[in-house]
Structure formats: C-alpha cells, structure tokens
Homo-oligomer: A and B are copies of this chain.
Amino acid sequence: MWYFDNDYLEGAHPEILKCLTETNLEQTPGYGEDHYCAAAKDKIRTACGCPGADIYFTVGGTQTNALVIDSLLHSYEGVISAQTGHVNAHEAGAIEFTGHKVLSLPHYQGKISAADLSDYLKKFWKDENREHMVFPGMVYISHPTEYGTLYTKDELSALSDLCRAYRIPLYLDGARLGYGLMSRSTDVTLPDIAKYCDVFYIGGTKVGALFGEAVVFTHQNTPAHFTALLKQHGALLAKGRMLGIQFDTLFTNGLYFQISAHAIDMAERLKEMFLKKGYELFMDSPTNQQFIILENDFIQELQKKVSFSYWEPLDGHRSVVRFATSWATTKEQLDALEALI
C-alpha cells in the first residue's frame, strides 16, 4: 500500500534524527534556553532577512494558531479568516476556546481578497452599533491555503497595507510554508513574508521535522511575557532543544528549501501523470497538494492499493480527491501510482 493522504505520514528527515542522536546525551537547560534554539533562531532570522525578528518554537499548528491569535487579540476582538481557514473549520473550536470569534470572509480557492477585507473593515467601522459587535482585531491567512493555493506578492502586499491602515496584525499560517516558497509559480519569498506579515509561522511538522513550528514576530511586536503565555497554553516544551535542533538542521545549508523543492517536483510529476492519462484537475494547484477528479467507481478500486484523501463529491458519478506529496515522497511511490491509473 502506498500513501498519499497527507504530508505527515513519515517521521523526520534523516538528518534531523542524526542530529538528535548525536546530541542526545548533552545536558542543556530546558524550555528553549539552550544554544541549539539560539542557533536555529539566528539562522531563521537570516533566512527571513529580518535580523530583528523574535522567534519562538511550538509543537503543532493548532496550538500555535490558538496561542498567537489569543495573545495578540484584545478581549473584544476576533480574527478574520477565510470561511475555509483552518482556524475556522478544522481546529475543533480551539480559537473560540480562548474566547475569540472567528469572523469569516468568502474564499477564492482558499484565499481571501483585499477587496472583501476592505469592505468588511469599512463597514464595521462605519456601523454605529459596533460596540455590540466583535471587533476585527487581526487577519489570518494561510500560505499555502487549505486548497494548496498561494497569494501573489501583490495580493500579500494589498492585505498587508489594509492591516497596517487599520492597525491590526496580519498573521500567516505557514504550516506548509516550504512547499509554498518552492512552488514553481510563486513570486513570494521568505523575506517578503517577513516584510508583509506582522507574525507568521514556519511549519516544521509537515516539512521534514518530527514536529514543531517556528513563530516569527517580525518587528518587536511579541506580546509581553510570551513565555508565560506559552506555558499557560500548554505549548512550552520542557526539552525545548528538540525544537532547536530540528530547526537548526532544517535551516543549515538550505535543507528546508531543498526538501520542499523535492516535494514540489514530486507534485508536479504526479499532476502530469494524471493529465497525461486524461484525468481532469479540480484546480491547478501550484504546491504539494493536488486535487484530481476521478470516477467514483475508480476511486473505490484505486483505494484498494493506494491511500489518498476523499475531498468532496463533484457530481453524481465523480468526486474530487487529494494526493499530497512531501519531502519524503519517492519516485518509486510515483511509479507505483502511475502503473495503477
């Protein structure tokens, strides 16, 4: 059985396990106060072209979203997100658990538009009844989105301008950031993200790490006593160096980017395989998630030998399915898939 269900099917890039093993018996202080974390942060600052960034490591995506959003919002504020945003749809209410509403905007293949955002903000601030409403206090986007799509530099810049005009932070969820940055059809670089966003995270869990995300506050805008907030949210890892070692490895010699590029290569080949054989794409995704239209009968047959995600029904006899590649996808896996379709 071959698996294309998602991008967290395997362990970690072997280099990470090697580093963890080599450093295993070294004694270091806990809670991220070790030299591996310090080194990793320096390398990330460099990669972001943002020497003044504050960086914190967390364990997982939902945890990070709840922590960052709760820490930056006032009590009377909510976070704006695409209706399909992970924080709105697939985090079991983790944001509301912290007391904040997710204010949803329409999505265009997972993205929000600056026009809709502008309308929303204008309308809110013109509403005389706004003290009875939830204040928009932050904008959440993901890049790549739930649909694998990417913001262009112009789109990102427009959202950023709006956020700065309204003095609310722009937060980018980069659970799959590597795959976005290495896409063949993006004009957005990591320094661009650091420039346009007030806070974002660089995903490790889905891009080569055992687990871990790196939260980047780009301009001395870290909430006060953020370590206490990490602790309060259950997000402060005792052996914090595990995160430092992993991100240090990923950001040494461009490993994060290399393995992301590999996933993109695999995704592009996968897409071509399907197209060549006459299958139709649900949408032309530029990243590691590929959405294909298959006959329902064929889905059932294929699932006996390959595992992938059922996305949604298309019409009476066809459905959309998702194949994900990752840093770990091999040519052998694709060959095997090709033989079956």
Contacts and interface: CB of A to CB of B under 8 A. Distances in A.
Interface of A: 2-3, 5-6, 8-12, 14, 17, 20-21, 23-30, 59-64, 66-67, 70-71, 74-76, 78, 89-94, 96-97, 99-102, 129-135, 205-206, 210-211, 224-225, 227-229, 231-239, 241-242, 328
B30 A8 contact: yes
A18 to B, nearest CB: 8
Given A76-B92, A92-B134, A94-B233, 18 more contacts: A8-B239, A10-B26, A11-B241, A11-B242, A59-B59, A59-B234, A61-B238, A62-B236, A63-B235, A76-B228, A93-B99, A93-B134, A93-B232, A96-B96, A131-B227, A205-B239, A210-B242, A233-B234
Contacts of A17: 17, 20-21, 24
Contacts of A64: 234
Contacts of A90: 129, 132-133
How many identical chains are in the complex? 4
A93 to B, nearest CB: 4
Contacts of A89: 133
Contacts of A11: 20, 23-26, 239, 241-242
A69 to B, nearest CB: 11
A78 to B, nearest CB: 6
A225 B24 contact: no
A242 B133 contact: no
Sorted nearest first, the 7 A-B pairs with minimum C-beta distance are A63-B234, A11-B24, A92-B231, A76-B228, A9-B27, A92-B232, A93-B134
Contacts of A97: 75, 99, 232-233
A101 B104 CA distance: 12
A133 B24 contact: no
Nearest to A13: B24
Contacts of A76: 92-93, 224-225, 228-229, 232
Nearest to A209: B239
Contacts of A132: 90-92, 228, 231
Contacts of A78: 93, 96
A92 B239 contact: no
Given A24-B11, A91-B231, A94-B231, A225 B135 contact: yes
Given A11-B239, A20-B17, A30-B8, A74 B205 contact: no
Nearest to A224: B74
A279 B144 CA distance: 51
B94 A100 contact: no
A204 to B, nearest CB: 10
A235 B234 contact: yes
Contacts of A206: 238
Given A92-B132, A238-B211, A239-B211, A24 B9 contact: no
Contacts of A20: 11, 17, 20, 210
